[in-house]
Amino acid sequence: MSATPDIALDGQRTHIVRPPVPWSLVPLSSECGRATSSLDSTMTLDEARVLREKLGQQRFALVICMTCATTAGRWPTFEEDPLQRLQRERNLWQEGGEQVRNELFALAELVNRHRAEYEGLVGEIGSVTRLKRPRGVPRVGHR
């Protein structure tokens, strides 16, 4: 027996928590759309990625909700691709998630109240990004 995960192979599948956008106040849900408060076993996306590496895909599929695994594989996290992640928030909004709209208006209001600090942060992030970008890589994400 390997020293890998603390997950029992008892038929109960673990769900993956949908990584929220950083400002979200929406209660956490699984990638398969269930409230995490109603689930017995959940793990973060990072934990799931580590577990898949350790177990391999076939054994991973025995312990993880495959709807969660499939859905998680389709969407980047906010840190990986903020624009695509916001597209996912848009989908939640269209499903009746008025909270998403309220949070975006609140973010805009925060920016208005702290405009100088916001502009400074955008400049800082832009300069760090320029330093990290390897030579020859286009500025915009063309594929």
Q: Mention every residue, 6+ apart, whose C-beta is less than 8 A from residue 84.
A: 75, 76
In our burial notation (b when 16+ CB lie closer than 10 A, e otherwise), range 8-17 reads: eeeeebbbbb
Distances (CA, A) of 41 to 46, 97, 137: 15, 25, 41
CA distance 106 to 51: 37
Question: Which C-beta is closer to Zn ion: that of 71 or that of 99?
Answer: 71
Q: Shortest distance, CB of residue 13 to Zn ion, whole angstroms?
A: 7
User: Closest approach of Cβ 71 to Zn ion, in Å?
Assistant: 8
CB of 35 vs Zn ion, minimal distance in Å: 11
Decide if residue 18 touches Zn ion (CB under 5 A).
no
30 near Zn ion, judged by CB under 5 A? yes
Among 17, 48, 51, 68, which residue interacts with Zn ion (rule: CB under 5 A)?
A: 68
Contacts to Zn ion by CB under 5 A: 15, 30, 32, 65, 68
